[in-house]
Structure 1
Amino acid sequence: MRFGRRGPEGAETPVVVREDGVWDLTPLTADIDGSFLEADPVGRVEDALAGGRLTRLADAEALRIGAPIARPSAVVCIGMNYAAHAAESGAQPPRDPVMFLKTPNTVSGPYDDVPLPRGSEKTDWEVELAVVIGTRASYLDSPADAAEHIAGYTIANDLSERTWQLEISGGQWSKGKCAPRFSPLGPELVTPDEISPADLRLRSFVNGEARQDSTTADLIFPVDVIVWHLSQYLTLEPGDVILTGTPEGVALSGRFPYLAQGDVVEVSIDGLGAQRQVIA
Structure 2
Amino acid sequence: MLKSREKNIFKYIAVVGLLIFLHFIKILSPIEDAIINVFRPALSKIYTVGSELNISYSEQTNKKDLIKVIDELKKERNKLIAEKTKLEFVREENEKLRQYLKFFTTENYNYVLANVISQNVFIDAQKQNQYIIIDKGRKDGLADGLAVLDGQGVLVGKIAEVEENISKVFLVTNQDCKLAVLIQNQAAGQERTAGIAQGDLGLTVKLDFIPQTQKIEIGQLAVTSGLEEKIKRGLVIGKIVQVNSGSNEVWQTAVIEPLANLNELVIASVLLP
**Quick check: TM above 0.5?**
no
User: Which has the higher Rg, Structure 1 or Structure 2?
Assistant: 2
Q: Scaled by the length of structure 2, what TM-score is found?
A: 0.29
TM-score, normalization by structure 1: 0.29
Larger RCO (CA under 8 A, 6+ residues apart) = 1
